[in-house]
Amino acid sequence: MITFDSVSKRYPDGTVAVDALSLEAPTGEITVLVGPSGCGKTTSLRMINRMIDASEGEILLDGVPVRGIDPPTLRRGIGYVIQQAGLFPHRRIIDNIATVPYLLGWDRKKARATAMELLERVGLDPALAQRYPFQLSGGQQQRVGVARALAADPPVLLMDEPFSAVDPIVRTNLQDELLRLQSELNKTIVFVTHDIDEAIKLGDRVAVLRVGGRLAQVADPKTLLSEPADDFVREFLGQDRGIRRLRFISADGLRLRTDLTVPEGSDGGTSEPWLLVVDADDRPLGWRPGAEPGRLEPFGTYAHRGDTMRAALDAALLSPSGCAVAVDEQGKVVGVATRQALDEALTEAADG
């Protein structure tokens, strides 16, 4: 566990970057620090590994004050991932990943073997091991940065806006990869971001900081969205706070209709404004408006078991029918959530 006990950081010119911060980052969880520019997120993170020393208060790592640990020793036991990876341009990827094991005196063969294992673990082709950073894409470099931080198997991982410099698709993939890795490794992670959506997706706990480094609220994402502490938190979460909250509501209870599907090639008339055309294996092909057999419109799907109301709503918005298609693990249609069913579920969620 990482504990901030009334921690402040004041600079000689009088600037207060962090003000009496008391916070716990539980062992094995992702704690996200989020807030506007100038709220002390990165300063707080860097005080953990003593890249910056606190002016007042104590930061404890499993009960031990970090102030009493030699900085190089402390940093070798903490993984650190920054924006744009920070790889050594003159070293091959395999040796970038093995940096900390080398510093710890590991045998070169062992260090490189660990690096190769981590290369695959973060989803990269082992063939990239002999390349240099400039030969990799931005997303690949960030994966290498994560692998390097994990190389000595540190219990703590600090991540300072690691995915903010890549495009949205790559960013989503990297977030998913981090969640997958965390499910396997259970590290104690402190993650800094300015993006509330990223914070809600990744955090087991989210700490919202005000300008001046004061803690506004810390809570799990569901509680944060449903019970913001004050107007500052409410405004920072944004006007679409209710939409974000749907990420934490299961779609399992959606009422489904099973009478809106027709097989491919069917041209029968119907009073329904939309019918879902399926192939011989019951997989969706498209929405057919009324009785127009030659025309198919786009559709959106969500997993009947395991997906959220947010996923179901997204699926409905992708379709001109306004309906979401529920599918099983094989992609076969289970049923259709109509606009009415979605409206009822959303109203119930809002009331809850």
Residue 349 pLDDT more than 70? no
- Segment holding 4, helix H or strand E: strand 2-10
What's the pLDDT at 291? Answer: 59
Residue that has been written with the tokens 């408006």 in this structure = 289
Residue 351 has pLDDT above 70, yes or no: no
CATH number for the domain whose boundaries are 2-248: 3.40.50.300
Q: With 70 as the cut, is the pLDDT of residue 293 above it?
A: no
Label residue 153 by pLDDT band (50, 70, 90).
confident
| CATH, domain range 261-351 | 3.10.580.10
Confidence of residue 50 (pLDDT cuts 50, 70, 90): very high
pLDDT for the residue 266:
76
pTM above 0.85, yes or no: no
pLDDT of 350 higher than 70: no
How many CB atoms lie under 10 A from the CB of residue 320?
12
Burial class (CB in 10 A: 0-12, 13-18, 19+), 227: exposed
Cβ within 8 Å of residue 32, ≥6 positions away: 190, 191, 192, 193, 198, 199, 202, 203, 205, 206, 207
The domain limits of the chain are: 2-248, 261-351
Cα dihedral sign for 332, 334, 335, 339? negative
The answer on pLDDT for 165 being more than 80 is: no
DSSP letter (8 states) at residue 6: E
Q: Residue 344 — pLDDT band, cuts 50, 70, 90?
A: confident
Mean pLDDT, range 27-47, rounded to an integer? 93
